[in-house]
Amino acid sequence: MAASPMPQLPPPPPVPCTECRRIKDAFHAATREGNRTAAQGWIVTMGRHQRWMH
């Protein structure tokens, strides 16, 4: 039995949401500066955003 070839969809962009991008950028900036408190805060912010906006 021959399987019919399925069309391959291109992978979605890693972060399609601008708010996710903004939070990620801020998180990486805080991490780079060694600001662990701010980085933790951004992780919480991202968690809330993922929960309510996605």
Write out the binding residues for Zn ion, residues 15-44 only, by CB under 5 A.
17, 19-20
Q: Which stretch, 4-12, 13-21, 32-40, contacts Zn ion (CB under 5 A)?
A: 13-21
Compute how many residues bind Zn ion; rule: CB under 5 A: 3
Classify the phi-psi angles of 43: left when phi > 0, otherwise alpha if psi is within -120 to 50, otherwise beta. alpha
CA 46 centroid distance within chain: 8
Q: Which stretch, 9-17, 27-35, 37-45, contacts Zn ion (CB under 5 A)?
A: 9-17
Counts for the chain of helices (H) and strands (E), in that order: 2, 0
The residues of the shown chain that bind Zn ion, judged by CB under 5 A, are 17, 19-20
